[in-house]
Amino acid sequence: MVLKTREKLIEIARQLFAHKGIENTTMNDIASASDKGRRTIYTYFRSKRDIYNAVVKTESDKIIDKLSAILNNPSSPEQKLMDFIFARFEAIKESVTRNGTLKAGFFRDVRKVDRARRTQIASEANILKQILLEGVNAGVFQIRHVEQTATMLILSLQGLDVAYIRDNFSELGIEKLQLREYLRDFILYGIKS
């Protein structure tokens, strides 16, 4: 019951933040929309910032769950790597798009984006590290520093997030299938001849 109430409050807050924006949503709004009193909300969350952080964590957890599922795929390490990259792009795009007004905030407030990303980097890098290790153990990938490579690859992919979300690649004449091919070539084969 306690967990369901907390989850309900997080989902209602997410919807309100997405519709009205964080700044325009009050704790009273959340209480009213959830048919709970303010005291109930303050039982679970100290402040609007606290509930906002819970919303961000819930969204991050959904992304991590999708990415973790790739580890169980029976495909090759190369295929898992590419599946991971594009499942990540799609999951982030879906999260940003689903959250309406938060989408504008995503592009405006770099500090909020950085905070949200920091909480997710370690989890994403851990999943990616497992994929890379599988490839190293299979003799498919030659990586000396797997953990650092996973972190650097996640940071590099983050640099492409906004362009992917905004679909800027198509404006540059790069369609999604081409993007997948170009990233595969770059990541799997590098630039060295």
pLDDT band per the 50, 70, 90 thresholds, residue 85: very high
Q: Are residues 40 and 127 located together in one domain of the fold? A: no
Where does a domain end: 45, 61, 81? 45
Q: Phi and psi dihedrals of 152, rounded to 5?
A: -65, -35
101, pLDDT greater than 70? no
pLDDT tens digit string along 151-171? 999 999 988 988 898 888 988
Q: Which pLDDT does position 102 carry in this prediction?
A: 57
Q: Tell me the average pLDDT of the chain.
A: 88
pLDDT-derived band at 59 (thresholds 50, 70, 90) equals confident
Q: In this structure, are 105 and 168 located in the same domain?
A: yes
Same domain, 41 and 53: no
> Do residue 167 and residue 140 come from a single domain?
yes
Q: What is the CATH number of the domain that holds 174?
A: 1.10.357.10
CB 70 within 8 A of CB 128: no
Q: Which domain holds residue 36?
A: 1-45
- 147 and 172 share a domain? yes
Phi, psi angles (nearest 5°) of residue 11: -65, -40
What is the domain-level CATH number for residue 22?
1.10.10.60
Question: Is residue 70 located within the same domain as residue 147?
Answer: yes
Cα distance between residue 148 and residue 86, in whole Å: 21
This model's pTM is above 0.75: yes
What DSSP element (H or E) covers 192? none
Residues 151 and 104 in one domain: yes
Tell me the percentage of the chain whose pLDDT exceeds 90: 59
pLDDT tens digits, residue range 132-147?
999 999 999 999 999 9
DSSP H helical ranges for 21-109 = 27-34, 38-44, 48-69, 77-98, 101-108
d(CA 152, CA 157): 9
Backbone dihedral region for residue 26 (phi beyond 0: left; psi -120 to 50: alpha; all else: beta): beta
**83 and 163, same domain (yes or no):** yes
CA-CA distance, 96 to 107, in Å (whole number)? 10
* Same domain membership, residue 33 and residue 58: no
pLDDT of residue 99: 77
Q: How many domains does the chain have?
A: 2
Query: Is 99:121 a contact under the CB 8 Å cutoff?
Result: no
Q: Say if residue 161 is in the same domain as residue 120.
A: yes
Residues 11, 96, single domain; the answer is no
Specify whether 139 is located in the same domain as 162: yes
Q: 100 pLDDT exceeds 70?
A: no
Q: Predicted confidence band at 2 (pLDDT cuts at 50, 70, 90)?
A: low
CA 178 to chain centre: 23
